[in-house]
Amino acid sequence: MKTFKKIVFWSLVGFAIIQFIPIDRVNKPVNHAVNFVDVKKTPQKIRDLIKGACYDCHSNETVYPKYAFIAPISWSLKSHVNEGRERLNFSIWGTYNKELKENMLSRAAESVQNRMMPMPGYIPYHKEANLSDAERKLIGSYFEEMLKNKTY
């Protein structure tokens, strides 16, 4: 019993201490001149879908939920945001070269339609990311059209 109490005590101390490890949750300002939905003048409906389902991880407009402030959940969440932004950041779309844009559009169209994106683990906590098949098709076709017509 004594050992058990000690384990609980030190676990709580550890949990309390890790809360002080700082995490950078400050978003960089958005430059509308290179932001995907602004540059492409994305129709309102598709704009809302992309912003609701992708922008938390693939832009500089991340909205952090309350649980994002509790370590170690916050670490896992921040690493998804960092990795997501590194691969594809809609906020800096205008700075991408042709190859990168083509590559991203085809991957984005594919991943939204085959349900790889938004990340499945994210959906239960974000109802706006729970896209219907029709919505997935709509976003996918939007990216595909852009790719086909070279209007990226």
- Yes or no: say if 28 and 87 are a contact pair by the CB < 8 Å rule: no
Is 37 near ligand HEC (CB under 6 A)? no
- Window 50 to 109, contacts with ligand HEC (CB under 6 A): 53-54, 56-58, 80, 83-84, 87-88, 104, 107-108
Euclidean distance between the first and the last CA atom of the chain, given in angstroms as a whole number: 65
Spatial distance between the Cα atoms of 126 and 70, rounded to a whole number of angstroms: 18
Return the number of the residue (34 or 78) whose C-beta is nearest ligand HEC.
78
Residue 32 CB, shortest distance to ligand HEC, in Å, is: 20
Cβ-count burial of 35 within 10 angstroms (0-12 exposed, 13-18 middle, 19+ buried)?
buried
Q: Nearest distance from residue 150's CB to ligand HEC, in Å? A: 18
Q: Is 146 in the site for ligand HEC (CB under 6 A)?
A: no
Nearest to ligand HEC of 47, 107 (CB atom): 107
Taking the C-alpha atoms of residue 74 and residue 57, their distance in angstroms, rounded to an integer, is 14
